[in-house]
Structure 1
Amino acid sequence: MASRTSNPPFLNGVPEMLILRLLSQRPMYGYELVSAIKLATGNELEFGEGSVYPILHRLEAEKLLSAKSQAVGARTRIVYKTTSRGLAKLEDSISVWRRITDAINHALKGGEHGPATVAR
């Protein structure tokens, strides 16, 4: 199997959904989250700190995450967790994701009449 050098280009919105999901399970700091994404996706997806931190900052600005400083030895880490508003966004994102993946799977199987689960 050929090694993958980057994530597929159609993953818009996926890092945000994964970040919200993982932080809904437990608070984490940025680098810990980078590792958790890789682990949670069975090493299929890998988002570096350069893409994760801007998402964390945006989600915090949108009040979907809260952040607090935590001293670890001589260092300070910013630990993030999902807010109630973030949990609502996560549920909406999961619903949309499932609807879209059902539709794509149906089309890939040669479906002609449209999947029943793709009603709006």
Structure 2
Amino acid sequence: MTRENNPSFLNGVPELLILQLLKGREMYGYELVQAIRAATGEAIVLGEGVVYPVLHMLAREGALQSRRQIVAGRSRIYYTLTPNGSDRLAEIAGSWDRITRAIGGVLGEPRHA
């Protein structure tokens, strides 16, 4: 049986995607849920129950900065990447690059220099 979305080997991917998307601009939680879905062509669909705990963890650890803003009568928390978050993104992205190259090698894909 094949799982179509979010196989278990994707641990760590929410953090990577959130940091990468916040690299470009600030966003609020639900906006990130939608941006992840759109950026991955719906191959990765993360609900609010996954995204918000990761946002809170990254903010606690200093990788994100947050600010509250009232929009149309509703309170939204916008997140931005901190220098610590940029460093963390570079580290995680480097690890994922090494992993995907290694898996590509096993699958018989040509290696890039």
- Match of 1:17? 16
After TM superposition, the score normalised by the length of structure 2 is 0.91
Unpaired runs of 5+ residues, structure 1, are none
Unpaired runs of 5+ residues, structure 2, are none
Q: Does 1:103 align with 2:102?
A: yes
After TM superposition, the score normalised by the length of structure 1 is 0.86
CA distance in 2: counterparts of 1:67 and 1:58, whole angstroms: 12
RMSD after superposition:
2.1
Distance 1:102 1:70, change over 3 A: same
1:80-109 deviation per Cα after TM superposition (whole angstroms, max 9, x unaligned): 011010001001111111111111111121
CA distance in 2: counterparts of 1:21 and 1:89, whole angstroms: 10
What SS is found at the alignment partner of 2:69? strand
Distance 1:13 1:72, change over 3 A: same
The answer to which structure has the higher helix fraction is 2
Distance 1:103 1:75, change over 3 A: same
- Match of 1:48? 47
Larger Rg: 1
Distance 1:110 1:35, change over 3 A: closer
Distance 1:37 1:116, change over 3 A: closer
User: In the TM superposition, what is the alpha-carbon distance from 1:73 to its structure 2 partner?
Assistant: 2.0
What SS is found at the alignment partner of 2:102? helix
Distance 1:110 1:15, change over 3 A: closer
Q: How many residues align?
A: 112
What SS is found at the alignment partner of 2:89? helix
Runs of 4+ in 1 over 3 A off after TM superposition: none
- Match of 2:69? 70
What SS is found at the alignment partner of 1:10? helix
- Match of 2:85? 86
